[in-house]
Amino acid sequence: MSNFHSFDDIKKAIANKETDCKAIVQSYLKNIQTKARLNAFVEVYTHAALEQAEIIDQKIAAGKAGRLAGMVIGIKDVLCYEGHQVNSSSKILEGFESQFTATAIQKLIDEDAIIIGRLNCDEFGMGSSNENSVHGRVLNALDESRVPGGSSGGSAVAVQANLCTVSLGTDTGGSVRQPAAFTGIVGMKPTYSRVSRYGLIAYASSFDTIGIFSTNVKDNALVMEIMAGPDDFDSTVSKKPVPNYSELLHFNKQVKVAYLRETLQSSSLQEEIRTNTQTVLEQLRDEGHEVDEVEFPLLEYVLPTYYILTTAEASSNLSRFDGVKYGYRTPNAHNLESMYKLTRSEGFGEEVKRRIMLGTFVLSASYYDAYFTKAQKVRRLIKEYTEDLLTKYDYIIMPTTPSTAFKFGEHSNDPVAMYLEDLFTVQASVSGVPSISIPNGEDNSGLPIGLQIMANSFKEADLYAFANYLMESTN
């Protein structure tokens, strides 16, 4: 099988009888084996994927195949898939087998997508480097001494290294967009509530979204239009109609674009990223689009607001993992209290324990109003300010990350430096608006640079069209 550049190429090859689903799966399986050192996959569903491919080949021959026939998808190890293990890359869930399938995954399967395996990630989605996994770190295929980004590092590398057509990740504060930038691919975070969270093991419930990695915008848009929409199992999901995103990619209008002065003037921004971002903005001006510099005075509060609220939600969500009903239970307990304490101490990794303790602190009676309540109020201000900007402008453009992929261990002993890697991605998460990262050239070391575009809530169709236009024009 050739290295197909898009799902359209795969469909064309199948239609011309140059290949079939089984051959495509076999090719990906061979790639996964050849590139096993990257550690992207936690588990590969070899037999199940091949069996499903044979069934779909029969459907294609009968003219009854779904829209994703021939698409091979990897899923992040926080998404439930009935009859398969899921452990959020954590010791505390070792051996746990899901009893149901996440709605987002089921919708893809119903359209004949083939699920090839589950993908490595930072434990419970907490991290920016994929160094916090019980399964070991994931390597960036472009430079194996550097991180792939996190928390969805395995999902990003699986697409980057051609181990599957598309992959699913989750984005709580940038966990799809940041690794997409570090690996040179497309990563989409939808509007909060656009995609059902049923079957997603929660980190921070009011922030968590299921996102998509792909090599191009059209594949991403197609998967999103199938995944999105109402779900009886998730009371927080939107019932708004879902456009056919993949058919609305044509872009031929003049738009208003804002960029935040504070992002391009940030002292932490790598110079090549600043230059490449400014180049795109100048290109848009030259093409007749309105491009304005705007101020976002709340930017310095976005990151602390995000970490106060997400750690608080994490401490609550992760309280269910106590060794009683499922997962790891310490063999060293001598009574019920020690069983709780030792199970959680031994089962959770250092970063997860750090965030649980921070979240427990901000929720404590003495500090609840000083931290949690205040952060909720600031979140509302950030959301309103962002949405106000997006009523005046069609898009906000900024770098996806302050730097390109850093080396393993570079920030391991400095949690604050690691958290600052989320500096530009958390605004969309705090505000709940959709955001996409697309490739925007390379730095002087040949490492990918990401460009982030934000649009107003439920404007994914516009966002995909503009992102596709920028990718085609800049490339």
* Tokens describing residue 295: 């101020």
- Angle at CA 462, nearest 5°, toward 182 and 235? 85
The catalytic position among 88, 89, 151, 167 is: 151
Contact (CB, 8 A) for 407 and 146: yes
The catalytic position among 90, 128, 167, 175 is: 175
Place of tokens 């490595």: 120
* Tokens describing residue 96: 């746990």
Q: How far is CA 153 from CA 31, 277, 315, 403, in A?
A: 17, 24, 23, 16
Please state the length of the chain: 475
The helix/strand/coil state of 37 is helix
As a three-state string, the secondary structure of 260-317 is EHHHHCCCCCCHHHHHHHHHHHHHHHHCCCEEEEECCCCHHHHHHHHHHHHHHHHHHH
Is 175 assigned a catalytic role?
Answer: yes
CA atoms within 13 A on the CB side of 179: 43
* Tokens describing residue 296: 């976002």
The helix/strand/coil state of 166 is strand
Could you tell me whether strands 435-442 and 186-189 are parallel, antiparallel, or unpaired per DSSP bridges? antiparallel
- 182: Cβ–Cβ under 8 A, 6 or more apart, which residues? 140, 146, 147, 148, 149, 156, 401, 404, 405, 447, 448, 450
* Tokens describing residue 353: 């324990």
Q: How far is CA 93 from CA 90, 110, 369, in A?
A: 6, 28, 33
Contact (CB, 8 A) for 314 and 438: no
- From CA 24, how far away is CA 164, in angstroms rounded? 9
Q: How far is CA 139 from CA 37, 56, 129, 356, 405, in A?
A: 8, 33, 10, 27, 11
> What are the backbone dihedrals phi and psi of residue 370, each rounded to the nearest 5 degrees, phi first?
-70, -35
Q: How far is CA 452 from CA 122, 145, 306, 433, 440, in A?
A: 22, 25, 18, 13, 9
The helix/strand/coil state of 432 is coil
Is 128 assigned a catalytic role?
Answer: no
Place of tokens 């920030």: 411
Is 151 assigned a catalytic role?
Answer: yes
The catalytic position among 11, 22, 35, 76 is: 76
Could you give the residue numbers annotated as active site? Answer: 76, 151, 175
